[in-house]
Structure 1
Amino acid sequence: MKGIILAGGKGTRLFPITKGISKQLLPIYDKPMIYYPLSVLMLSKIREVLIISNPEYIDFYKNLLGDGSSLGMKITYQVQERPRGLADAFIVGEEFIGNDSVCLILGDNIFYGQGFVPRLDAAGSVKDGAVIFGYYVKDPSEFGVVEFDSEGNVLSLEEKPNQPKSNYAIPGLYFYDNSVINRAKSLKASARGEIEITDLNKGYLNEQRLKVELLGRGFAWLDTGTYDGLANASDFVRTMQKRTGLYIACLEEIAYKNQWISKEALCKLGQVYKKTEYGKYILSIAKS
């Protein structure tokens, strides 16, 4: 399975913060925002990742993450010339995906909670069909909403409904089989001129090939698309790390625990940040 991070857009809801920089490069406490979705792909044991962004920002990502070899990964980059909807990621990334299944994660979504890895493993085992996630929220009318049966089969999908059929919102994390490429190509643009991820998912739903994995109580899904969302996410990460002593989205730690890099390589990476708490944490992992 391969992974795609969609890190495009103008971030207009965060102006003037994002007037001169990609939203997904903004800091969430001690790390760039894109570290968080990248860590999810790494926890899914995905080693080949494509980052899609605007032409003016793509080199910033290359400078930050390089080719991924220091993490035992292969990271490549592709430009999305203009916003054409989330499903456009599979058209832009067609050559990258090849004959593999694929996971798409939005660059501004943050996930954290116990039991996440087994759910990622379950979703990542998809060979035929698609898997989305469901997260319980108080007011689902602000989100895409999924209705499902006791076996996790999706019954309906609604986009910001006035009368939701469930309280489960759909976060920006999706697993698909290889047919997603041709499905995305066949989509017609919506009224706002974009090919919509909801329409893509409905195609799988109509064939009864769409399942949902639920993220339960105590799990955190954070959207960073607003000023308050940014601040809340940073506060959350800071609080959890200070309280537990365990870091969220430490790419070097995940790569080491996945056995993608050696202890020697981990120490070398920690030395790069040795003047920071982040670097000291990496070095402590190497010594443990």
Structure 2
Amino acid sequence: MKVNRAIIMAGGEGVRMNPITKYFPKCYLPIYDEPLLIKQLKWLIEANVKEVFIALNQKFGDLILTLLSYTDLGNEININLVIEQKTQGIGVSLLELKTYVAGEPFIFLLGDEYYENPSFFKEIKKLDDDCIVMGATSYKDKKRIMAGCNFELKDDRIVTMVEKPKENEIMSEWCWSGVSVFQDSVFDSMLENEEQLKDNRVLINGLTNLIEKGNKIMYLKDYSENINMTDIEDYYTACSLEKNKY
């Protein structure tokens, strides 16, 4: 699958990681040897992405510009910063970026995701199917499953997904890893119902609508550690995992 563009959603304020994120966005924090954003850009380059749009909170725009000025990654990928005027849900923020990626598949990546040994960016190049593909990671801890988006998998596709399931709603150990290849159909599905746009789960609801209509959503399993940096403990875990690689 050829994917030329990507979006990194890094517009949150990271309030649950205060005080460490009082002056820095989560994507700016060093994961042992370099900032998370730099790692993410390198993963996208590995996937042969040519252009990336980074959605940022307005108070961090200059900081990220300075960070990027110290790298030579701009020689390998065209980097664009999109400044958000207000903090909002991921789905609504994604809809506002539609004009940048409309008409072709794009990698969607949450700006606070760390992967110990990321495989999605390598494996996506090997797929031929022209459909949505979502990363899947395995958790043994029920609390982690209940904090994410849980999948029911069958053959090569996702048949059900539930955002932050209750314990009796858990369908498997597999959850969304925070990275996907999306198509235009995601935007269309989110926009079908105006009331849906008021729900923080608008993106997951839109994907669920596609599944219910018979659209194929594939998955790629990642068997390494995947950390969604929600709190400071997550950050320390990510740094420890990265350090152990050296």
Which TM bucket (shorter chain)?
A: 0.7 to 0.9
Is 1:213 paired with 2:213? no
What is the aligned-residue identity percentage?
A: 19
Q: Distance in 2 between matches of 1:191 and 1:182?
A: 12
Match of 2:175 in 1: 169
Cα distance change on mapping 1:223 and 1:49 into 2, 3 Å: same
Is 1:65 paired with 2:71? no
Q: Determine which structure has more spread, i.e. the larger CA radius of gyration.
A: 1
Alignment partner of 1:156: what SS?
Answer: strand
Q: Per-residue CA shift, 1:88-112, capped at 9, x if unaligned?
A: 2432222211322111101110123
Match of 1:249 in 2: none
Check conservation: 1:189, 1:196, Cα contact below 8 A: no
Higher strand share: 2
Match of 1:133 in 2: 135
1:211 maps to a residue whose letter is: M
Number of residue pairs matched? 236
Match of 1:238 in 2: 243
Q: Residues 1-288 of structure 1: matches in 2 within 5 Å?
A: 1=3, 2-66=5-69, 70-113=74-117, 115-122=119-126, 125-127=128-130, 129-138=131-140, 139=142, 140-149=145-154, 151-161=155-165, 162-163=167-168, 164-188=170-194, 193-194=199-200, 196-208=202-214, 209-216=216-223, 219-240=224-245, 242=246
Check conservation: 1:78, 1:92, Cα contact below 8 A: no
Alignment partner of 2:244: what SS?
Answer: helix
Larger relative contact order (CA 8 Å, sep ≥ 6): 2
Match of 1:284 in 2: none
Aligned-residue offset at 1:197? 2.1
Q: Distance in 2 between matches of 1:194 and 1:115?
A: 29
2:146 maps to a residue whose letter is: S
Q: Per-residue CA shift, 1:254-283, capped at 9, x if unaligned?
A: xxxxxxxxxxxxxxxxxxxxxxxxxxxxxx
Q: Per-residue CA shift, 1:126-182, capped at 9, x if unaligned?
A: 53x311122111122232100011x22211111222221111111111111123333
Alignment partner of 2:177: what SS?
Answer: coil
Normalising by structure 1, we get a TM-score of 0.74
Q: Distance in 2 between matches of 1:195 and 1:159?
A: 7
Q: Distance in 1 between matches of 2:53 and 2:197?
A: 28
Cα distance change on mapping 1:110 and 1:189 into 2, 3 Å: farther
Aligned-residue offset at 1:117? 4.5
Q: Which runs of 5+ in 1 are unaligned?
A: 243-288
Aligned-residue offset at 1:21? 1.9
Check conservation: 2:92, 2:197, Cα contact below 8 A: no
1:53 maps to a residue whose letter is: L
Q: Distance in 2 between matches of 1:173 and 1:114?
A: 10
Aligned-residue RMSD, C-alpha: 2.4
Aligned-residue offset at 1:45? 0.9
Q: Distance in 1 between matches of 2:91 and 2:212?
A: 17
Q: Which runs of 5+ in 2 are unaligned?
A: none
Alignment partner of 1:198: what SS?
Answer: helix
Q: Distance in 2 between matches of 1:193 and 1:181?
A: 15
Cα distance change on mapping 1:62 and 1:185 into 2, 3 Å: farther
Aligned-residue offset at 1:204? 2.1
Q: Distance in 1 between matches of 2:210 and 2:161?
A: 11
2:51 maps to a residue whose letter is: E
Q: After alignment, is 48-57 or 92-101 more displaced?
A: 92-101
1:135 maps to a residue whose letter is: T
Cα distance change on mapping 1:111 and 1:190 into 2, 3 Å: same
